[in-house]
Amino acid sequence: MAGKCSSTCPMRTEWVKGNAVGSGSFGVVNLAMNRFTGELFVVKSTSTEAGFKSLENEANILESLNSPYIIRCLGQDFSKEANGERKLNLFLEFMAGGSLSNVVEKFGGSLDETVICSYTKEILHGLAYLHRSGIVHCDIKCKNVLLGSSGNIKLADFGCAKRKNSSKLDKVQKSSLESISGTPLWMAPEVLRNEGLDFASDIWSLGCTIIEMATGRPPWGDLLLNPMAAVFQIACSNETPELPTKFSNEGLDFLAKCLQRDQKMRWTCEELLDHPFISGNRRCSCEKDACSPTSVLDDGLYEENYASDESESPHKEELQSRIPFFTRSSSGRYRMARRQHREIDLQSSENWITVRSG
């Protein structure tokens, strides 16, 4: 949706806030409903100066974008709470499937490689659009990638995003572009060394996000309990995150193209879209175990069934290819091990915050 977010902004008397569906460093995300039409959307709310800056940046970025792979901004306003607290509210499109981190957790702790291929392709389309628009997302991870009920993917949370078109930047904006933004375990080495942001930084984060989808754990998961050691290893060593053990050769090669420590060696979005892992000229190592469920109940397909209002609806065949079926044999084989690690992973990852500076 191009144009200013405020063009379709709901008036304060026209919407009602529902239950919280998420939270972040800026504040809380709630489900919301239009009082007159019943339309569902989400509202991000904050009452802190840092939160105002983050949400205003997100609104400014989103108002200039128009892509089926980017979350739509529906408007923003200020409200006054009963205690006199002033809040900034940002209204955003509702995605019924939630974040990919939620999806991974609900479907056994990891995704099948064929599903990862499908999701990665759409993430790449979103990143390619952003990079053509001169924007670096700066915080690509499963939590910031949302899933629609039909399996369509959209990039979200642009609070850290930065414009890279130097011809339109003043000194303050250029300084902001050089500042650190994102979540440390997903950050590229050059970003943690404070050497500046580039489109290649998003590609490193994409590689880390694929590892997250495949393993159910953050990249560098063995260093979760030692944040300083993790930051030092990412920034200064010659190592890369541990790769998924059950990935195909094409998948491992794709990750190698994303996780080049020299940012000049990383492939671009356009190059990665032509890689066999994405283009379809491949055979996953998991295909020999794959089978379709005998009924919807086999894989708990969706708890909710929301219709998509997306203007550029995918073809039926594309929708069918996105449905997140998982191989019974692989999900059963590793479910116990993943369950043992999941609780400590979730607890320890709470110590990691999203950095929003500049």
Distance CA(8)–CA(3), nearest Å, equals 10
**End-to-end Cα separation, the chain, in angstroms:** 27
* Residue 139: active-site member: yes
Q: How many CB atoms lie within 10 A of CB 279?
A: 13
Distance CA(293)–CA(280), nearest Å, equals 22
Q: Contact, 261 vs 189, CB < 8 A?
A: yes
* Given 139, 157, 198, 202, the catalytic residue: 139
Rg (C-alpha) for the chain, rounded Å, is 20
Cα→Cα distances 242→7, 179, 223, Å: 46, 27, 11
Can you tell me which residue has the tokens 């708890």?
303
Name 343's Cβ contacts closer than 8 Å, sequence gap at least 6: none
Residue of 275, 276, 280, 289 lying closest to 246 (CA atoms): 289
Name 2's Cβ contacts closer than 8 Å, sequence gap at least 6: 63, 64, 65, 66
Q: In degrees to the nearest 10, what's the CA dihedral of 164, 170, 174, 175?
A: -160
Q: Contact, 163 vs 175, CB < 8 A?
A: no
Sheet architecture: strand order including 145-147 = 98-99, 145-147, 153-155
Rounded to the nearest angstrom, the gap between the alpha carbon of residue 322 and the centroid of all alpha carbons in its chain is: 17
Distance CA(18)–CA(40), nearest Å, equals 10
Long-range contacts of 240-247 (CB under 8 A, 24+ apart): 241/207, 241/208, 241/211, 242/211, 243/211, 244/211, 244/214, 244/215, 246/113, 246/214, 246/285, 246/286, 246/330, 247/113, 247/214, 247/285
Catalytic residues: 139
